[in-house]
Amino acid sequence: MMKVSVDQIVDEGGGIRSFYFRPEDRSRFPPTSPGAHTLLRVTKGMMRQYSLCAAPGDRRYRLAIRLDPAGRGGSRFMHESARVGDVFYLSYPQPDFPLEPDRPSYSFFAGGVGITPILSFLYALQGQACRIRLCYFVRAGDAVPFEQEVRALCPQVEIFNSALNGRANFEGLLRGSQGDAIYCCGSARFVAGVQEAADALGTAAIQVESFVSGVKAGHLGEPFVVDLPRSRHILHVPSDRSMLDVLLEDGVDIDYACEAGVCRSCIVDVIEGEIIHRDQCLTEEERRTVMTPCVSRGRGRIVINSL
């Protein structure tokens, strides 16, 4: 990971702040691609995934972080405790949401903080001979984060506020995007709504990225036991808690970020036992020997490589 420090903090409105980072262990950052994200080590053991959205001419990295009072503390720590000059660590950029080049027209659907990877797309398309359309959805009562920035980058911007516009008519908007390369980013619910409308219209495949906020409370599966040979601890994972929660409570030093089986941060080696995989990131080969404890579970008893 790269050692970085906070260079600037900007309040963007709507509960979002931009954090600009400069490198501390190198002269410049590695180049990024549109749609790339990075993992920010917020505190020891806590990592969070964010899109990179700085302007191409800015040699810093910019992460836009929305305060989530109901979250597990990552965004709250950054909003309440991070100061200019503070040192953090960032992963190398990961191009998981790439932009298809050289299309004649693009339509972007952004929900809330989902605007951040879309910003990187808008910057990348500047000066190209293509039509760009942005449908940007914000919550009732929110200011519009990055409004001036997106209007400067995209001449065809439609901003929808749920208090003023009511329920979004995704089908109607998608009818105006037929033939476009379509990209969508936002909450899982927002993305599902756009995808459902696209399916109903028979729209060609759209590229999506959704933000997830961890596992939901309630019954997560049958209880099981985790054996950690090195520490000689035997941990009981109840039906309403994740294995990751129980490991952290026991003091196990383990990184985590998405808590949804997507980012690969919390992978652990399994020595023995049956795994119930619920991740979206491991290959079938990897699933023979590793698991993501944020969402996956064991059956009966499993033994993991002590951390």
- What pLDDT does residue 121 have? 95
Run of H or E including 75: helix 74-80
Supply the CATH number for residue 139's domain: 3.40.50.80
Residue 7 sits in a domain of what CATH number?
A: 2.40.30.10
* For the chain, the helix, strand and coil percentages under 3-state DSSP, each to the nearest 5: 20, 35, 45
The answer to whether residues 13 and 65 touch, using CB atoms and an 8 Å cutoff, is no
- 95 found inside a domain: no
Both 115 and 202 in a single domain? Answer: yes
Last residue of a domain, one of 90, 114, 134: 90
Please give the average per-residue pLDDT across 277-304, as a whole number: 93
70: Cβ–Cβ under 8 A, 6 or more apart, which residues? 213
pLDDT for 118 equals 95
* Domain final residue, candidates 144, 177, 211: 211
pLDDT-based confidence at 46, cuts 50/70/90? confident
Both 151 and 62 in a single domain? no
Alpha-carbon span 49 to 41, nearest angstrom: 9
Residue 163: pLDDT band (50, 70, 90) is low
Judge if 63 and 123 occupy the same domain.
Answer: no
Q: Which of 56, 90, 124 is the last residue of a domain?
A: 90
Whole-angstrom distance, CA of residue 112 vs CA of residue 304? 39
In a domain, 51, yes or no: yes
| Whether residue 113 is found in the same domain as residue 200 | yes
Count of domains forming the chain: 3
Q: How far apart, in Å, are the Cα atoms of 244 and each of 12, 47, 226, 241, 257?
A: 33, 13, 11, 8, 11
Q: Which range marks the domain in which residue 168 is found?
A: 105-211
User: 92: how many CB neighbours lie within 10 A of its CB?
Assistant: 12
Closest to 203 (Cα-Cα) out of 175, 228, 165: 175
Is residue 161 within 8 A of residue 140, CB to CB? The reply is yes
Same domain, residue pair 72 and 125: no
100 domain residue, yes or no? no
63 and 12 within one domain = yes
Say whether pLDDT at 166 is over 70: no
Provide the token pair at 4.
Answer: 């970085």
Is 297 domain-assigned? Answer: yes
| Total-model pTM | 0.74
Q: Is 111 part of a structural domain of the chain?
A: yes
